[in-house]
Amino acid sequence: MPTIKEVADMAGVSVGTVSHVITGSVPVSESLRTKVQAAIRELDYHPNHVARSLKTSKTRILGIIVPDMTISFFPQIIHGAEMAARERGYSVIAANSSESADRQRELLSLFRSQQVEGILVVVAAAPTPLGQMTRLIEAGVPVVCLDRVPEKIPVDSVSVDDVAAAELGAMHLIGQGYRRIAIVTGPLALKNERRRLQGYEQSLKRAGIKLDPALVWQGNLRPDDLAAMCGERLRDAAARPDALLCTNGPTALGALRAMRACSLETPDDIGFVTFDELTVDELFSPHITTIIQPAYEIGSQAANILLDRIENGASEIRTIRLPATLKIRDSSRRV
C-alpha cells in the first residue's frame, strides 16, 4: 500500500501539499493539484483512515447493536441507520448481541476500542446490566436507544408509541366484533411489552369489555415455547378466546403454529392480529393483519439524532415516539 509520502515524492511536492489536496482544507495551485492527482491515480493510492483517525480522533464510524439479525425488523432498522449515516458521511458497523447481555457488553467494549463516534443500541432482552450503558454515557459516548427503551437511564431514544400501536390492533378486533380477545406477549420485563399490554387493556376498557386476566398470556421470545403455551390454552374450545393479539413476531409465529395444530382458521374460528410483518410478500397465506412499525424510519431518525449529538455536543434528552400503522388483511376481517 502506497503512503502519502510516496505520492508526494512522485508528484515532486511535500506531504503537506498532498494532504491539502486530499482534504481540500487549504487551497493548492491548479498545477500542483493535477500533478498530485495524477500521482494518486498512478499509485492507486488510498488514504489510510487508520492513521487519519489517530491524528484527528475522528473515525466517522457509528456502531449499532441489535439482538437478532434474522428477524426482518432489525435489518430494516440497520438499513435506515446506514442510509442516514451515509448521507452525512458516516459508516456504520453492525453487530448482533443475540439477546445476550454478555455479548452486548463485549460489543460495547469492542466499539469503544474501535473508536466509534456514537452507538445505536437495541438493548438485549436478557436482564440487562445497565451499569455499562450508564458508564458509557457518562464517559461522553453519544448513545441512542432504539425500539427498546431502558427505564431509569437518561438517554435519547426512538421507538414506536407502543400503547397507541396496541390500541390500533385491539380496537380493530373489537370493531370486527371480537369480544374474548387474548393478548400473547413476550416477557413483561420488557417495557415495550408492558406498554403494549397497557394499550390492549385501555382498548377493552374503553369498549366496555371486562378484562379477563386469564386472557393475558405472557411468554418468552422463543416460538417453540410459545407454540406449546398457546396450544395448551387453545385446545379447550369452551375457554378459547375468539381472537388473538400478538405483541411481536416470535409470539406470532408460536401462536400461528398452535392455531394450525388445533386446526383453527382465521378469521372465522379465531381472529388474529400481530405486531411486525412476518414476511414481506403478500403472496403468502394466511394474510395476516399486522401492526407495522416504521423500522426504517426508526433507524434513520435514531442515526440522525445520534449524529446531531456527535456534531453539536450535548443537548436535552430527546424521546421520539413514532406512530405504527395497521395493515388490515384477511386474518381479522370478519365483517
Q: 94: part of which helix (H) or strand (E)?
A: strand 91-96
Which of 106, 109, 105 lies closest to 130 in space, CA to CA?
105
Our finding on whether 1 is near a second copy (CB under 8 A) is yes
Residue among 20 and 309 whose Cβ is closer to DNA: 20
Our finding on whether 54 is near a second copy (CB under 8 A) is yes
CA–CA gap between residue 230 and residue 256 (Å, rounded):
9
Which of 140, 137, 109, 250 lies closest to 190 in space, CA to CA?
250
To the nearest 10°, report the CA torsion of 97, 98, 103, 109.
-10
Provide DSSP, 25-72: -S---HHHHHHHHHHHHHHT----HHHHHHHHS---EEEEEES-SSST
37, 47, 209, 334: which one binds DNA (CB under 7 A): 47
Our finding on whether 22 is near DNA (CB under 7 A) is yes
27 binds, among a second copy, DNA, none (CB under 5 to 8 A by kind): DNA
Which of 204, 177, 180, 168 lies closest to 327 in space, CA to CA?
168
Site mask for a second copy (CB under 8 A), range 161-190, x = bound: ------------------------------
Our finding on whether 38 is near a second copy (CB under 8 A) is no
Give the shortest CB-283-to-a second copy separation in angstroms: 5
Per CB under 7 A, contacts with DNA among 67-126 are none
Per CB under 8 A, contacts with a second copy among 139-158 are 139
Cell of 71: 428477524
112 binds, among a second copy, DNA, none (CB under 5 to 8 A by kind): a second copy
CA–CA gap between residue 167 and residue 246 (Å, rounded):
12
- Let me know if 24 is exposed, middle or buried by CB neighbors in 10 A (0-12, 13-18, 19+): exposed
111 within 8 A of 159, measured Cβ to Cβ: no
Segment contacting DNA by CB under 7 A, of 29-37, 182-190, 245-253, 284-292: 29-37
Our finding on whether 43 is near DNA (CB under 7 A) is no
Give the shortest CB-31-to-DNA separation in angstroms: 6
Our finding on whether 34 is near DNA (CB under 7 A) is no
238, 281, 313, 314: which one binds a second copy (CB under 8 A): 281
Q: Residues interacting with DNA, by CB under 7 A?
A: 1, 3-5, 13-17, 19-20, 22-23, 25-29, 31-33, 47-48, 51-52, 54-57
